[in-house]
Structure 1
Amino acid sequence: MSETETLICEGDTCEVRPAEPQTIKPINLKPSPNLNIQIVSDWVCPFCPIGEANLQKGLDLLRQNGIWNGEASIEMLPFQLNPEVPEGGVDHLEHLSKKFGSRERVEQMQDMITQKAKDAGWEYRFDRVTISPNTINAHRLARFAQERGKQTEITELLFRAYFTEGKNLSDLDTLTELGVQAGLDREEVAAYLHSNQDVQDIRTFDQHIKRQGVQGVPFFIVNGYAVANGAMPPEHFQNAIQEVLKLQEQAQ
């Protein structure tokens, strides 16, 4: 990935854009005294796993260069690229073909994304994806897992289930199985997913973060500072986090 590129999804559009200088600025979310990294993402955003992988590489660069040697907590925050999709999902290829004009255009885009994912260490199999889901329940499962200390596990499982295995993230039975694989109790997960708990909270946050100006994902916030709009290269994360550390030091 070139240092002059960023990868970002807005609505159904996922594309490579020229990387513009990122202004490190506060964003009105919950502050944290520690190195707390918040990633605004959606489970159907193909650049979100790539962005997280590049973030981890950026943290490694900080450690390798002796700039920072602490621990970082990562919190996934919900964003719905396609909140209008019905609860059961829609046909994936038909849905994207309407957005992009043709199947050929969709296939070109998917080929590009697959290569970007491979460069970041992910295997994408769009040929296995048949359903474009509504992700509200996947976000609920992620919150349920996070509250029980299983965010790392559920994050990888959800992304891999969709982009590598082609599973339907609208299906509650599928989500329940992913919760069990993450180490959660089957009956508790099933009862939670079949309830309406947290549905409104997630929708409200999705609307809130969009009002804050976040229109595309992945979007990265470090200790309350917006540092990256899109899946930036590892070097960008290294430099941006270093700048945040300097700003915090000056503020003390």
Structure 2
Amino acid sequence: MRQVLSKPLFRGADSPSLAFAVVRVPFFLEPEYDELKPFIESNRDRLVKKWGGEQGWERQKRHHDLKGRGIAAGIPHFNLDRLASNSMASHRLIQHIGKRYGLNVSETLYDGLNVYYFVEGHALNDKPRLAQVAAETVTALLAKQNATDQALSEEEILSFLHGNEGRLEIENALRALRKLGVHGIPKFIIEGSSVIDGAAGPETFVKVFREIEKRGYVSGGPIFGDILGVSKETWMKGSHTRESLLLNEEQKKMA
């Protein structure tokens, strides 16, 4: 997305605006994990069991080049002993923040939770810690954007996490994924129809995005928008825009 946004095919006052709307669809790696426990086991133990022992796990690492793909994505170190847990709370949180503040805010929180989990190793069902991270992230981003929206407090987010709001939407999305035959991640659904496997290289995505850019319009919206309760107004505003990309680059230069 960054490559397409930073180097558009068309420039000038009459050129079409560029924006991406990313709607995160929940997926449970271990749906049987007890939701009442902050965490169940380390990710190392989970994967060793999944692949039939240490040798099987080592084969999978070599086959999928997990370390190399992590480095390419800007994550130089994965915490293999991160705490694996039920992830319902984190899925509900991402959807809640996106619907309340917009997909650009939920994407920032999503990026932060990737570091929180994959690098720092914290559990995605540690509700007090999730509430703290979410409150700090949303507050900082709204201030950066000079937004007039009031950020949720840590206490308000924790109260949400201890409730059930948004659970039905997550459960409906999981059922829809099963009907579509999606049994692994990552998967990307573009224009509501084109499914691209996460193992595809950046050039595959750039090719698809450039074709849409040349066409000048998107032929379909996010098929999970209605299921997750994301309004058309919300996803039409986008999560990644050329303007936000340029603003971030300018702020980095000034920092």
Query: Which category describes the TM-score, using the shorter chain as reference length?
Result: 0.5 to 0.7
In structure 2, what is the Cα distance between the partners aligned to 1:233 and 1:59? 15
Q: Secondary structure at the match of 1:228?
A: strand
Partners of 1:215 and 1:76 lie apart in 2 by 16
2:112 maps to 1:157: yes
* Bigger strand share: 1
**8 A Cα contact 1:128 1:165, kept in partner:** no
Whichever residue aligns with residue 185 of structure 1, its letter is S
Task: Return the match for 1:201 from 130, 155, 169.
Answer: 169
Q: What residue is the counterpart of 1:175 in the other structure?
A: 130
- Determine which structure has more spread, i.e. the larger CA radius of gyration: 2
Note closer, same or farther for the CA distance 1:154–1:250 as it changes in structure 2 (3 Å cut): closer
Identity %: 25
TM (norm. structure 1) is 0.67
Residue in structure 2 matched with residue 122 of structure 1 by the alignment:
75
Counterpart secondary structure, 1:232: coil
What is the rounded CA distance, in whole Å, between the counterparts of 2:137 and 2:59 in structure 1? Answer: 34
Q: Which has the higher contact order (CA 8 A, sep 6+)?
A: 1
Alignment RMSD (CA, Å): 2.7
Instruction: Assess, with a 3 A threshold, how the Cα gap between structure 1 residues 182 and 250 changes in structure 2: closer, same or farther.
Output: closer
In structure 2, the gaps of 5 or more residues are: 139-151, 220-255
AA at the equivalent of 1:156: D
Higher helix share: 2
Matched residue, 1:59: 4
1:102 paired to 2:84: no
- 2:98 matched residue in structure 1: 146
Alignment: residue pair count: 194
Q: Is the 8 A contact 1:216 1:230 kept in 2?
A: no
Matched residues in 2 for 1:189 and 1:121: separation?
A: 29
Structure 1 residue 203: deviation in Å?
A: 1.3
Give structure 1 stretches of 5+ with no counterpart: 1-55
Q: CA deviation at 1:189?
A: 0.3
